[in-house]
Structure 1
Amino acid sequence: MCGRYSLSKSKIELEERFQAEMLGDFKPRYNIAPTQLVPVITSDSPKGFSFFYWGITPDFAKNKPVSQKFINARAESVHEKVSFRQSFQRRRCLVPADGFFEWKKLGKKTKIPYHFTLENGEAFAFAGIWEEFENEFGENNHTFLILTTNPNPLVSEIHDRMPVILKREDEKKWIDKYSNEEELKKMLGTYSTDEMLSYTVSPLVNSVMNDSPAVIRKTSPMDQFGNYTLFG
């Protein structure tokens, strides 16, 4: 599962990295959570950033609020699931990020947050799918979710799933409407451990109210109560 991620790059850095235009302002984000409005690049508008809500409402669930339940989908079966099949075929997106968070469980009450990034510190893209639905006020909302896959050895020490990080050369193909299903499925593998690193961060990440550089700063391991622990 991927339930929090970071995007601490500036607007200029993101435009240069993804060769897409971002209309309006953007402030770096350090603790992105479900239901929030964040930038994506869609198959319908590959040359620009769109702002969608994280938490998809499938075709069969009309007029429902942005969902926290459907924030991820398994990459191995997304093309088969009735709830996601059409989005996989027609509505794919890049979800820009520069890190994601997972919590290591050490007993019933102890959880240590970790931040996973690329070794070079650069921005990357999660593989996502998106949906459009009409809310109770008759307004069109756009939502997305992030695909997950089996973890690499680095992530498996903490969690049994990880988000699909696309290889840079696959990003344009992922949002190309003419890519076929077999090509798309080949892009959804596990990202190499050799190109990633992880480190412990402050329990500040536990609250969605905290969204500052302190959230992604490397710190000594602490549990969710702020107590220092000997475990890393």
Structure 2
Amino acid sequence: MCGRYSLAKSKKALEERFNAEMLEPFHPRFNIAPTQLVPVITSDSPMGFSHFYWGITPEFARNKPVSQRFINARAETIRETVSFKNSFRRKRCLVPADGFFEWKKMGKKTKIPYRFTLLDESLFAFAGIWDEYENTEGEVHHTFLIITTAPNGIVNDIHDRMPVILERGAESIWLDPLASEERLESLLKPRSEDDMLCYTVSPLVNQVANDSAAVIRKTLPMDQFGNYTLFG
């Protein structure tokens, strides 16, 4: 799964990279977690950023809070899964990011956090889908999730899934309302390991409240308790 990512770039950098306008205030985010409100670009409004909650509520589970159980969708089954197939057809989005985190298990108690980025640590987009739901007060909220696929070689050593990082040229296809399901599905593949790098970060990332540049700084391998380890 993909349960944490970063968007540690300025509002101006986001607007220039995605050729879209952001009307709401934004500051760099170093530790984005499920249920938080973050910028996306939808197929309905490709020239501007929208702010949606990460964590989709399926159509059959209205009037319930955003659930962390629904933060990702598997690329292999997205066309058939009842909860997601309608959004795959009609409600796709780009999820801007510049990195994501996974934890490598080293025994029963030790987990080492890693950050994955493109080689130049530039902005990219996860493939996402979005939906809307009504809460108990009758308010409509927009939510999104991130599509995951099999890992490439660099991620495979850490985790058995990775988010779909779209090639830049594929982003407009993903937002195209006329694109066929077959064409869209062909985009949901692992990003080449030759395009990526990873490094260990501080266990500060374990706590959602920690949202500073220290979270993404390269560090010696430390477990979730902050103890240095011999593992890289």
- Calculate the TM-score normalised by the size of structure 2: 0.99
Consecutive unaligned residues of structure 1, counting only runs of 5 or more, are none
1:136-155 aligned within 5 A: 136-155=136-155
Secondary structure, aligned partner of 2:88: helix
- 2:62 is matched with 62
- 2:207 is matched with 207
Measured after TM superposition, the shift of residue 60 of structure 1 is 1.1
Q: Distance in 2 between matches of 1:67 and 1:231?
A: 34
Secondary structure, aligned partner of 1:102: strand
- 1:28 is matched with 28
- 1:219 is matched with 219
Q: Distance in 1 between matches of 2:179 and 2:65?
A: 31
Measured after TM superposition, the shift of residue 7 of structure 1 is 0.2
1:4-23 aligned within 5 A: 4-23=4-23
CA displacement, residues 13-58 of structure 1 (integer Å, 9 cap, x when unaligned)? 0000000000021000000000000000001111000000000011
Secondary structure, aligned partner of 1:69: coil
Measured after TM superposition, the shift of residue 200 of structure 1 is 0.2
- 2:183 is matched with 183
Secondary structure, aligned partner of 2:121: coil
- 1:169 is matched with 169
Measured after TM superposition, the shift of residue 164 of structure 1 is 0.3
- 2:120 is matched with 120
Q: Distance in 1 between matches of 2:16 and 2:69?
A: 33
Q: Distance in 2 between matches of 1:58 and 1:42?
A: 18
Q: Distance in 1 between matches of 2:73 and 2:226?
A: 32
- 2:94 is matched with 94
Secondary structure, aligned partner of 1:94: strand
Q: Distance in 2 between matches of 1:136 and 1:45?
A: 27
Q: Distance in 1 between matches of 2:164 and 2:186?
A: 11
Secondary structure, aligned partner of 2:215: helix
Q: Distance in 1 between matches of 2:222 and 2:62?
A: 42
Q: Distance in 2 between matches of 1:202 and 1:208?
A: 13
Secondary structure, aligned partner of 1:73: strand
- 1:198 is matched with 198
Cα root mean square deviation, aligned: 0.5
Secondary structure, aligned partner of 1:182: helix
CA displacement, residues 162-181 of structure 1 (integer Å, 9 cap, x when unaligned)? 00000100101101111110
| Aligned residue identity for 1:9 | K
Q: Distance in 1 between matches of 2:77 and 2:230?
A: 39
Q: Distance in 2 between matches of 1:105 and 1:68?
A: 21
Measured after TM superposition, the shift of residue 121 of structure 1 is 1.3
Q: Distance in 2 between matches of 1:174 and 1:199?
A: 29
Secondary structure, aligned partner of 2:208: coil
Measured after TM superposition, the shift of residue 226 of structure 1 is 0.5
The number of aligned residues is: 232
Share of identical aligned residues, percent? 72
Consecutive unaligned residues of structure 2, counting only runs of 5 or more, are none
| Aligned residue identity for 1:228 | Y
- 1:109 is matched with 109
| Aligned residue identity for 1:129 | I
- 2:231 is matched with 231
Q: Distance in 1 between matches of 2:108 and 2:3?
A: 20
Q: Distance in 2 between matches of 1:58 and 1:179?
A: 23
CA displacement, residues 202-221 of structure 1 (integer Å, 9 cap, x when unaligned)? 00000000000000000000
